[in-house]
Amino acid sequence: MKQLAVLGAGSWGTALAIALSPRFAEIRMWAHEPTRAAEMMQLHENALYLPGFALPANVSVSPDLALSLKGAEMVLAAVPSTHLRRIMQAAIPSISGNPVIVSATKGIEEGKLQRMSQVIGEALEGFPERSIAVLSGPTFAKEIDAGEPAAVVVAAQDIRVAERVQLAFATPSLRLYTSGDTVGVELGAALKNVIAIGAGICRGLGLGSNSVAALITRGLAEITRLAVRMGGDAHTLSGLAGLGDLVLTATGDLSRNRYVGVQLGQGRKLSDILAGMTMVAEGISTCRAAHQLGLNENVDLPIISQMHSVLYENRNPRQAIRDLMDRPLTNE
């Protein structure tokens, strides 16, 4: 294809721009900060978020949203979930024709409790939902750009849209599977970040593999319960966007959300942890939204509830894990 617009110049947006550069004649990245865009163009890399990986010649970076979107056949959104609505609203005048909008943002919007594809559809004021796709799966940015084999899923209400993205994005090292279950894919992508914080807490407390494995498994059960209640397919959560992404994020050393959990388990305050991070740990804001979704939908989410109490109610992490073990016994 000719042109791809990538909204967001963090590690994930940069990684995708580099990985997809052989598939498009031109890729225009939008960076929120003019100084960041200028630095990336001067150094030909994202020195802050993804150092050591050169930007290909057909990848440019600009703080001009209209310029980045001009003529784009596909638009890939890779911005933090808290900023997605505002950025998509700002993009309205610059989106022409009928491009496919692909969300690579993982999270649940606080307040309205919407999935990212819902946020995009509402923010773009009538943009056809069938032209919105979501991309998710077990991927770390550094490993993608190192050319290591990876597999992801692309979902859309119209399976033909998912297939179009699949053909456009597939590379020798990036394999895409299609799905029609946007609900399951997006909830799996968002909620695994919360469970990963819990897995990190286990490690930070000095607990071993038994504890982490139990938390991951029961965390997947929670994610599946909520996704099914909201119209998702349970089978989706046993795939790349569910189990695959959860295992990676809950166990991988490159996981920001796991890192936050480890630090909490070691006794650090959340404010101090965040002050030392340059990248966003989406699970923190998602936890509050997920906790509210569980209450609204009357779905039991014990791990997510305990993570909410740790993050927002100053609960001791060790006590939170103990409370999970002391819950009434039940069947699996």
Question: Within this chain, do residues 197 and 162 fall inside the same structural domain, yes or no?
Answer: no
Question: Within this chain, do residues 242 and 298 fall inside the same structural domain, yes or no?
Answer: yes
Catalytic center residues: 192
Last residue of a domain, one of 135, 160, 180: 180
Q: How far is 206 from 282, CA to CA, in rounded Å?
A: 24
- CATH number of the domain bearing residue 263: 1.10.1040.10
Question: Within this chain, do residues 201 and 156 fall inside the same structural domain, yes or no?
Answer: no
pLDDT, block means (10 residues), the chain with 332 residues: 94 97 97 97 96 97 97 96 96 92 96 96 87 97 95 97 98 97 98 98 97 97 98 98 98 96 97 92 95 97 98 97 93 89
Question: Within this chain, do residues 118 and 153 fall inside the same structural domain, yes or no?
Answer: yes
- Identify residue 133 by its one-letter amino acid code: A
Last residue of a domain, one of 138, 156, 180: 180
- Nearest-CA neighbor of 188 among 141, 142, 234? 234
Its pTM stands at 0.95
Find the domain containing 81 and state its range: 3-180
| Domain count for the chain | 2
Any idea which residue has 């990245």 for tokens? 29
Question: Within this chain, do residues 116 and 202 fall inside the same structural domain, yes or no?
Answer: no
